[in-house]
Chain A
């Protein structure tokens, strides 16, 4: 006789390897959502993930699918070549804001402009996490980092880059959205957005990107709960949660 039934478990598209991330890091939540979406869309057997440099460099160990490691910022270019050679595969990159919004700005803009049939999961936690919390292009005005200990000043180190808005300008027919993971409600919305970003690729409609606002407790010097509060009160006002573009629906 069965006493229990399984109602919730690790997605099939994940390996059994524990996450290597710091306590409170959002990467694990986002990886799990990507894996859940792969399971639900039944695409794990044809999916190829592309890693970036930074905290997500080791995520080839987390997804139980074919994976390719790419160099810092070049994920969308590698994904482009791979998708062109393997159009039947579902190709996605996981990139942080240091990777995609700094060194890889050119690659992602042009991949979006070409409507490459790829999906980009863009984790925006406002800092270079792996190297010690230096200023990222997304760091908020006034936020102190080891690069600028007295805080970011636009006249010295620039304004925060709003990548989702910027990419929506060059790819009006693609799916580009910004979400967050600071509450359960937002986690569920993020999953829906990730699903949509894969769906536009599967339907051959265009480029798909989800910018996920994420926490880096280690480098923000905050506990997890305070990080979630910071996302709500400080980050979302600057980085609004919105779908900025989506493929035109057939009439």
Chain B
């Protein structure tokens, strides 16, 4: 359950919520009225929140028979013009690959939430960031991209989920929220009402029966080779626009730092704790936290290198996935090293502190 804490100003209320619930409330406030999902730990609180909240606002909650069916139900609701969402964790998110590539191909807006657990395989339900590659590199076939955000708190989960619906409609593209078991399960204060509630906009491209208008067709395949080439060219142009406009990050204590730790999501929270201790020890270490994972905030990272950062330490709860993006962005201009443990190990601030110390001494 979510607990109301207090009313902190007119129209602004503070709740104590799990990250999973914050995602749900962000979706409801953004006008999401269709949720199709399948139970999987550690995302169940989001699923259950939507089951409870959607009927209150006249929306539809449907428990699908599989994640495959769920993402395809999202496809149908999106084609009809509704704001819709599904959520899962790694094993189910893998099954959604075919739906993601179809949504991206048909240019249908939808929000997909992955509350990561630890893989590979069925893995276990402990948190990890091992779905970074799956989320940012696709999961489905063909040249397509989804916008991917990696929020770092319940508040940010709420805000970015809300915004994800706006961006999905603006770009007519699926948007992925990459959360994890720590963020999803952890209860934190969330200030709601930072946005006015939205309704889904009218979408002139959506199918609703042609009425008196020319018919519309939502396609996942072209009719000719030439059409496919044009199609891919248009998608590429759209992805380049997303790449230019949607890079998001947070930089902390990077001024004057020669070593910067790069971490996202829940790991960035643990890293910040450790990093403050290193700074108290007198070493000027900064934190660079990518918020958009695709597009990766490469421009901001490159600016850090131009400002004199020489040493990038990538800390992530996996065997080394985001480091590939950091290396690509650094393009050989900085030393890039990795600290991470795969398979559901949760970092302690102490171990990260000792790791960072090794890079500054």
Chain A residues within 8 Å of B, Cβ to Cβ = 44-48, 50, 57-58, 60-61, 64-71, 74, 77-86, 88-90, 106-107, 109-110
Contacts and interface: CB of A to CB of B under 8 A. Distances in A.
Given A69-B218, A69-B219, A77 B72 contact: yes
B26 interface: no
28 contacts: A46-B211, A48-B209, A57-B221, A65-B215, A66-B208, A66-B217, A68-B76, A69-B106, A69-B220, A70-B76, A74-B75, A77-B75, A78-B73, A80-B73, A80-B76, A81-B72, A81-B73, A81-B79, A81-B80, A83-B76, A84-B73, A84-B76, A84-B77, A86-B208, A106-B65, A107-B68, A110-B65, A110-B69
Interface in B45-89: 60, 62, 64-66, 68-70, 72-82, 84
Contacts of B212: 45
Given A68-B207, A69-B106, A85-B82, A79 B76 contact: yes
B69 A107 contact: yes
A48 B208 CA distance: 7
Contacts of B287: none
A35 B106 CA distance: 25
Contact of A66 (B69, B76, B207, B220): B207
B217 A68 contact: yes
Interface of B: 34, 36, 60, 62, 64-66, 68-70, 72-82, 84, 98-99, 102, 106, 207-212, 215-221, 223
Contact of A47 (B62, B76, B79, B209): B209
Contacts of B223: 58, 61
**Chain B contact residues, majority secondary structure:** mixed
Given A82-B80, A106-B66, A71 B102 contact: yes
A109 B65 CA distance: 10
**When A and B form their complex, which 5 residue pairs have the shortest distance between CB atoms, in order from nearest?**
A81-B76, A46-B209, A85-B80, A81-B73, A82-B76
A88 B84 CA distance: 18
Contact of B99 (A44, A46, A71, A79): A71
Contacts of A89: 80, 207-209
B105 to A, nearest CB: 9
Most B CB within 10 A of own CB, among A78, A81, A82, A85: A81
Contacts of B70: 77
Contacts of B81: 85-86
Given A82-B76, A89-B80, A64 B60 contact: no
Nearest to B83: A85
Given A81-B74, A110-B65, 6 more contacts: A44-B210, A66-B207, A66-B216, A80-B73, A81-B84, A106-B69
Most B CB within 10 A of own CB, among A64, A66, A69: A66
A46 B209 CA distance: 4
